[in-house]
């Protein structure tokens, strides 16, 4: 439960963690979102899928390139 800490140090550490999270969220809100092409370039290599699924994704991306803009 947030708000109850065993020590002042633990509470201070949580404040620092929340401040960092707030800064990260504010930064994301002020920068433009990635394009679909940028998102796919980051997501696809990290996505765990079988060969058939990966081939299907590749086919869809090649067939519908206008969606990547």
* DSSP-derived 3-state class of residue 47: coil
Cβ contact 21:34 at 8 Å: no
Dump pLDDT digits (tens) for 20-53.
999 888 887 777 878 888 888 888 888 888 999 9
- Average pLDDT taken over every residue of the chain: 84
Q: What is the pTM of this model?
A: 0.44
What is the maximal distance between C-alpha atoms in the chain? 58
pLDDT band per the 50, 70, 90 thresholds, residue 7:
very high
Cβ contact 69:37 at 8 Å: yes
């Amino acid at each position: 439960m947030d708000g109850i800490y065993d020590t002042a140090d633990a509470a201070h550490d949580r404040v620092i963690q929340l401040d960092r999270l707030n800064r990260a969220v504010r930064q994301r809100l002020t920068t433009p979102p990635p394009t679909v092409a940028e998102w796919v370039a980051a997501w696809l290599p990290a996505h765990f899928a079988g060969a058939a699924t990966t081939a299907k994704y590749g086919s869809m991306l090649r067939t519908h390139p206008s969606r990547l803009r």
